[in-house]
Every structure is written in C-alpha cells, then in structure tokens.
Chains A and B, each alone.
Chain A
Amino acid sequence: MVHFESVCPLRSSSIRTSWNRLVMQAIQVDNISKSYGKISALKSVSFQVEEGELFGLIGPDGAGKSTLFRILTTLLLADSGEGHVAGNHLLRDYRKIRRIVGYMPGRFSLYQDLSVEENLSFFATIFGTTIEENYGLIKDIYVQLEPFKKRLAGQLSGGMKQKLALCCALIHRPEVLFLDEPTTGVDAVSRKEFWEMLKKLKQKGIAILVSTPYMDEASLCDRIALIQNGEILTINTPEGLMTEYDLPLYAVKYDDTYQLLKGLRKMPYTKSVLPFGDSLHLTVEAETPVSKITEYLTDLGFENAEIRPISPTVEDIFLELSRRTESKND
C-alpha cells in the first residue's frame, strides 16, 4: 500500500478527487453551452450543487433557466460542456439519471383529466414503486391534497396543482429535485408554504435546484446563482451576496419621482439610479458624503427630498451586476 502510494501519488490523488466529486456533488455543471439557431441560451455555464443543498437559480424570463433544467434532466442535449447529476454523466448515464431525479417543469404538465390520486399512482407505477412505499416523503404535502384526491387535476387551484406536481416529482424518492419556477403564478401564502416544504425536503437529504424570477425568494436558498442572458453573474450565499455590493446605496424619495430621476441621472457622482416602488435607489461613487447629494438636490429645487442609506436587496445586486456585465460586454 505504501509502496503503491509512493510509486504513483498523482494517480491516487486524482482518483480520490474524482471519487470525492462523485460523492459530494449532487449537480456538477462544467461549461455547458446551448444555442437555438443564432440565439445563445446558455453561455459556458458552470456551477456545483452540494448534496442536500437548496440551490436557487435566479433570473428574469428568458435568462436560460428552463434550458438549463431541460439539459440537466436529459430532455435536451447541450451543444458543448459536460454535466453530472449525482455522479452520473449527462450523456453516458442518462438512463440512470432518469431514475434518480424528480422534475417539475415550469408549466403544469400532469394529466388534467386524471384525478389527483390517479396522477400520483401513475407516476409511482412508472418508477416501479407505490404511493404507500414512499408515503413518508410526501406525507406533509399530500395531507393537504387528500381531501381532493378524487378531483381531476385540471380542476385544482394553482397552489394545489403545484403541490400535486411536487408530490408526483417526489413519489419515487429522487436524489436530486429539479423545480423550474415552482412558485410562478402562485399566491403569496402558497408560495411561503411551498418554500417551507422545500426546507423540509432538504432536511431529508434531497438536493434541490430551484429556479425563480422572484428576487425575494433568494434569501430562502442555501446558495444562489444570479443568471441573465445565459450567463451566470455570480454565485454566493444570500448573506455573501450582500457584501458584493461595495458602493453606497440610498433610497431617495420626492413627490415628483420622474423629475427627481431626471435630475439624479445628471448628478456627477451617480453610478446608477433606478425606480423601486415609490422611491429611487441611488448608487453613488465610493466615499461620496450624503451632504454633497443633499446640496446638489437643493440646488435643483428638490428641497425636501428624503435621502436615507439602505442595505441592498437581491434586486439591487442583480441590477448592478447585470449593468456591469453589460458594460463589460460592450
């Protein structure tokens, strides 16, 4: 043994790292690219999701989230790059991947003319299992559906549909769960409940990749990747993300928001100014004192404008990062 280690230490260490990767990473994406004709949906995307991690993919519509999901669930072939799901290669072991992943597409795609119960037992049977066998995993969610189990899936409310889809994606006890915009079009209460459920699933050791266009859901993930135009802007924990915003940020409020916006755009210290609800989020160059902004605004006649320093939201960070990426690409 000692002899072996000393003869080829390199080989043994490389075996160890790849073995570690197989064990540790639920999802491994390496430089995956995909384009539809001239439009490139994914530009060399790479990231890892650890086992038992709740990983959020956050970005606007058309950012390439669904394309990435379809590639990782073996529905779509990437143009280039490699990927592993629970240690299985996307191309070589796609059959194995289909056994161990649960996928909930962005659009409700269960059989609308089958009942709740029929849908669930259909997907259970396809995976060679039964509802009873894995009931423990879906119990918390299914109890809410149980009163409606004879109802056709097409007649359920939006929130109920999501819960049923989640149950169907879980019924074969997957190792990795892919949820493509599970909370889009769902009311605020159901959204909150849904995230509670995801937390519980995570505790059961299931790795979850979830995408959402709602920035406020980012803080509920272990780690998040901000994605836009097929590019990952940053990957960080929700807390770590806040520190990425290294410029002073202020909320500025005035009766005539539009005039204020026009005025602030012309201010020499302004890096960016964007409307957020009824106020403007103003980013200025580092080490600009508030007094200078007040002075500038008073000169322009916005005497009683309210200025207050704030900590950035995910949306601020997203907009700032995408602004930087765009100016870099230009």
Chain B
Amino acid sequence: MNVLRYLIQKEFIQIIRNKALLPMMTILPIVQLLLLSNAASNDVKNVNLVLIDKDRSQTSRLLRNKIEAANEFSIVSYATNNSEAMPYLQANEADIVLEIPNDFEREYFRGEAPDLQLLVNAINGQQATVGFGYLNRIIAGFNGDILENGSMAQMSQTAPRAMIQIASRNWYNPELKYTHFMAPGILAEITALLTIVLTAMNVVRERELGTIEQINVTPIKKWQFILGKLIPFLILGLVILTVGIIASKLFFDIPIRGSVTLVFGYAIVNLVAVLGFGLLISNFAETQQQAIFVAFFFVLIFILMCGLFTPIESMPKWAQYFTIPNPLAHFISVSRKVLMKGSGLADIKMEFIYTIILALVFNSLAIWSYKKQQ
C-alpha cells in the first residue's frame, strides 16, 4: 500500500513540475470548447436563393414577400429565366433556385396544385436539405395563409381543403441552440482524448528515458505500477472535466438539468476505461512518436464514430455496432442525456454497463500485456 501511495505521489510531483501539462489541462479544453461548439455548427443559418418569378401575379408576389421576410434566406438575385439563374448555381453562389411558373396564380385558384420548381445545389448536402426543408415550411405556411384569408374573391368555395396541422415543439433545447447540444459532447470528447494521450505518452516516456527498466528490476507488482499510473491520470481527467463544465456554464450557459454527481460518477468509470486503453497503447509503443500515431489512429475513429458530429442512429447498422466498444460514444451520450435531459441513473444504465465492461477489458489487457521481462 505504501508503495502505491509513493508511486502516486511521485507521479503528482512530476505532473506539477511539467510546465506544459497544466496549461494543456486548463486552456486546451476551454479553447476547444469555445472553438468547436461555435464553429462546428450544423445550423444552417443562411441559404442563398435565386428567385425566378415568371408569373408576376399578386399571389406570386405574396409568396416572394414571405420568402424575403424569412431569416434563413438571402436572395442572391431575381432572375427572369433558368439560364440566367444557372450561373449562380454553377459558381456555388446560390444553394437553391426557386422558379414560380407562368400560370401559378391561375392554377392555384383553380384548385390545381401548381408546380414550383426547386433546383437544389446538393454539393453541400446539409445546406441543401435543410434549405429545402425551410422552403417547404414557408410554402406550406403560405397555403394556410391563403386559406384563412377567406375574403379573397377568387377563392374557390366549392373545394374545401382538409388540412392537417403539424405543430412541433422542441423539447430539451427549445431554441435549438447548437452550442447546448455540442458543448456537453465536446466536454466528454476532450476529457477522454486528453487522458488517452497523456497516459500513453507518460508510460512511453518512462520507456524512452529508461526509468521503466529501473522500475522493472524492483519488486513492484504489475498492478501497483498500473494503478500508480491510473489513479493520478484519473484525477487529472476529472480536473479537465470540471474545468470544461465550468467553462461551458460560463460561456454557453448550458443547461445542467441532471445530477452533476451522476456525470462525475459515470466519468470515473469512463476514465478508467479510457486510461486502460491509453496504457494498452503504451505497452505496444517503444517511442512517444509511435504512441502518438497509434493513439491518433484510434482517437480519430473514436471521435468520428461517437455521435458527436453525426448521429449514431443515421450510421449503417454495422457501424452502429462499432460504437459499442467506443468509450467516447457512451460518454457523450451520458453527458448529453444527463446535462440536457436531466436523465437519471436508470436512463443511462446501458451506458454504465457497457463502460464497466470496457474498463474491465482494457485494463485486464493492459496489465496482461505489461511485461516486466522481455
């Protein structure tokens, strides 16, 4: 016990003396949070539109006014025909070309559904679909407006239109603030990433300097050595998480609906898993360079497949299974559920179970593959 205590004490002395580590633990998470939460936004705020109004009627102007008034669109140009509009698409200056056909008003009031032509620049798929969605909503709203406006003389009274109104409310994030969604995820990502890299590098550094050799000729037990690395870096990870949560609250005012204790409780389990993974990497790397590359390889996969930027539900089935051994995916899921939805222990039961299994597997492998003798 004394040996373990001294190993941990030694590790902390070294951590505190390392001048690069403290800024890395505090400034790095804050910068990443600020940068990623704001910049890596999936919000489509500005769809560029080219309008071709061939009808030039009262009704078509009504529709135009509605689109112009919408915040999401900025009209790049009013064209008279397709060939005038196409260069804008070509030059990527416009995302959507909306064409209101010649007989729009006439057909509309005749009760025939007139066709509006939408040309969508699908190079940026996200921008295109979201823009298309916005436009659809406006057009649907336009329909409703005209129906309500019974005074319109041309209104056909004989064709009563049954309309289903879909009213949606956004729960948990009513203003659809992207930062509220991203910050908890990024928090989990930074914590896991930094701890993987820091532990892997730390152990490999001991190998490079030869100090591990000196340790290996002593009667230190394997588990003592592994725990001696795990515990200090677990505490380090919790410090990073705390810094991150405080920063997210201060800068983004993220909602903290669930229990912070639960987040930290889960974080401890997750960090143990992630640290085991870092130690596992370190056992197979001779130099810090090798460790960085291997860590980089896995961290990249972990990040891209953890549901931070793209929802796991929209991945192919096989890829969804791949997220089960990804500790980051569970961490992000828990962090979002607890912080945004206020989920309790019962709601994150599965994440807990998976992570405990991962922690056991990674750490057993780390202890098993750590050889005091070659």
> A residues near B, CB below 8 A?
70, 73-77, 94-95, 98-99, 101, 103, 105, 107-114, 118, 122-123, 125-128, 152, 168
- Beta-carbon contact of B214 and A109 below 8 Å: yes
Contacts of B17 in A (CB 8 A): 113, 152
Among the listed A77, A101, A112, which residue makes an inter-chain contact with B373, where contact means beta carbons less than 8 Å apart? A77
Measured between beta carbons, the chain B residues less than 8 angstroms from A74 are: 217, 372-373
Shortest CB distance B347–A (Å): 44
Q: How far is the CB of B145 from chain A (nearest CB, A)?
A: 72
Q: Identify which of A76, A101, A114 contacts B13 (C-beta below 8 A).
A: A114
Q: List 5 A-B contacts (CB under 8 A).
A: A75-B374, A109-B209, A111-B14, A112-B209, A126-B6
**CB of B61 within 8 Å of the partner chain:** no
Least Cβ–Cβ distance between B230 and chain A, in angstroms: 18
Rounded to whole Å, the gap between the CB of A38 and the closest CB of chain B is 18
Cβ of B137 to closest chain A Cβ, rounded Å: 61
In the complex, the answer to whether A73 meets B217 with C-beta atoms within 8 Å is yes
- Is B210 in contact with A128, judged by CB distance below 8 angstroms? no
Q: Do A113 and B18 contact each other (CB < 8 Å), given the known contacts A126-B220, A127-B218?
A: yes
Interface residues of B (CB under 8 A from A): 2-3, 6-7, 10, 13-14, 17-18, 209-211, 213-220, 372-374
Q: Cα distance A103–B211 when bound, in Å?
A: 12
Q: Which residue in chain B gives the minimum CB-CB distance to A107? A: B210
B372 contacts across to A, CB distance below 8 A: 74-75
Chain B residues within an 8 Å CB radius of A128: 2-3
A95 proximity list for chain B (CB < 8 A): 219
A111 and B213 CA atoms in complex are apart in Å by: 12
Do B14 and A113 touch across chains, with their CB atoms under 8 A apart?
Answer: yes
For B220, list chain A residues within 8 Å (CB).
126
Measured CA separation A258–B219 after assembly (Å): 56
- List chain A residues, Cβ under 8 A from B214: 103, 105, 109-110, 123, 168
CA distance A168 to B213 in the complex (A): 13
Q: Which residues of B contact A109 (CB under 8 A)?
A: 209-211, 213-214
Q: Which of A76, A94, A103 contacts B374 (CB under 8 A)? A: A76
Q: Which residues of B contact A123 (CB under 8 A)?
A: 214, 218
Beta-carbon nearest neighbor of A76 in chain B:
B374
B14 near A105 with CB under 8 A, answer no
Measured CB to CB, the nearest residue on chain A to B18 is: A113
Q: Are A122 and B10 within 8 A (Cβ)? A: yes
A253 to B147, CA, bound (A): 120
Q: Contact at A126–B218, with CB atoms within 8 Å?
A: yes
User: With A103-B217, A109-B211, A111-B211 given, can you name 10 additional A-B contacts, CB distance below 8 Å?
Assistant: A74-B373, A76-B373, A105-B213, A105-B214, A109-B209, A114-B14, A122-B10, A123-B214, A126-B6, A126-B219
Least distance between A228 CB and chain B CB atoms (Å): 24
